[in-house]
């Protein structure tokens, strides 16, 4: 009901004493505190409905308290993350985490149908070609490029941005490298509407 600094200033004191000089704010907060917690009620009812549905499948279902989950996580010396907490629910003797970082997947879609970019006044400034595939590649493909000549010598792995000229940009995990020829590129993964990290 309060920001961090106000909550720290109030401490363990009564809210009526802390907001004695602001009666309108005090009445609004007290009204809000007495209102039923609709979101919590919805989560609790959904939780039990989900539990009963899973139990009806006949598969083993384990439940536990938040304190027990935290105890298991700390005892096994694991970092705090939702997916690790899910593995620490219930009676857990040992746990082997094979991946320290799960794969991050973002839905990016397959582009737009807009054929003409406009400026802030709505006048056309740039046009897109109808073709999406250039030199066998399209924007969103993940490629590896081993450049052997020129200013950008090195190996790059990342998402490609294609141009009809054959001069591609490759966005790696840390940097975007412009002007890589299509001749150096080898496909690793074709565009499927998602990005992976």
Contact 167, 153 (CB under 8 A): no
Contact 162, 180 (CB under 8 A): no
The topology under which CATH files domain 116-196 is SH3 type barrels. (2.30.30)
pLDDT tens column, 12-45: 888 888 888 888 888 888 888 777 777 888 888 8
- As a whole-number percent, the residues of the chain with pLDDT over 70 amount to 98
Q: Which long-range contacts (CB under 8 A, 24 or more apart) does 143-149 make?
A: 143/168, 143/170, 143/185, 143/186, 143/187, 143/188, 144/185, 144/186, 144/188, 145/170, 145/180, 145/184, 145/185, 145/186, 146/184, 147/180, 147/181, 147/184, 148/184
Report the length, in residues, of the chain: 197
pLDDT tens column, 131-148: 889 999 999 999 999 999
The pLDDT confidence band at residue 1, using thresholds 50, 70 and 90, is low
Q: What is the mean pLDDT of the chain?
A: 89
Neighbours of 179 (CB within 10 A): 14
- Give CATH 2.30.30 domain extents, the chain: 116-196
- Average the pLDDT over 147-151 and give the result: 92
Instruction: Give CA separation, 115 vs 128, 155, 168, 192, in Å.
Output: 5, 33, 20, 21
pLDDT tens column, 57-83: 999 988 899 999 999 999 999 989 898
Q: How far, in Å, CA of 25 to CA of 32, rounded?
A: 11
């Amino acid at each position: 009901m309060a920001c961090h600094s106000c909550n720290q200033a109030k401490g363990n004191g009564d809210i009526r004493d802390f907001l004695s000089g602001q009666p309108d704010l005090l009445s609004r907060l007290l009204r809000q505190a007495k209102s039923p917690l609709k979101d919590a009620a919805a989560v609790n009812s959904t939780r039990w409905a989900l539990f009963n549905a899973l139990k009806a499948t006949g598969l083993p279902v384990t439940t536990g308290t938040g304190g027990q989950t935290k105890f298991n996580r700390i005892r096994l010396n694991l970092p705090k993350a939702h997916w690790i907490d899910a593995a620490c629910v219930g009676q857990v003797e040992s746990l082997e985490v094979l991946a320290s970082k799960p794969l991050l997947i973002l839905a990016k879609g397959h582009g737009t149908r807009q054929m003409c970019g406009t400026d802030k006044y709505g006048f056309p400034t740039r046009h897109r070609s109808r073709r999406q595939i250039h030199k066998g590649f399209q924007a969103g493909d993940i490629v590896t490029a081993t450049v052997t000549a020129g200013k950008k010598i090195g190996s790059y792995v990342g998402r490609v941005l294609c141009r009809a000229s054959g001069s591609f940009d490759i966005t790696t995990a840390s940097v975007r490298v412009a002007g890589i020829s299509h001749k150096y590129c080898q496909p690793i993964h074709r565009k499927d509407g998602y990005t992976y990290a």
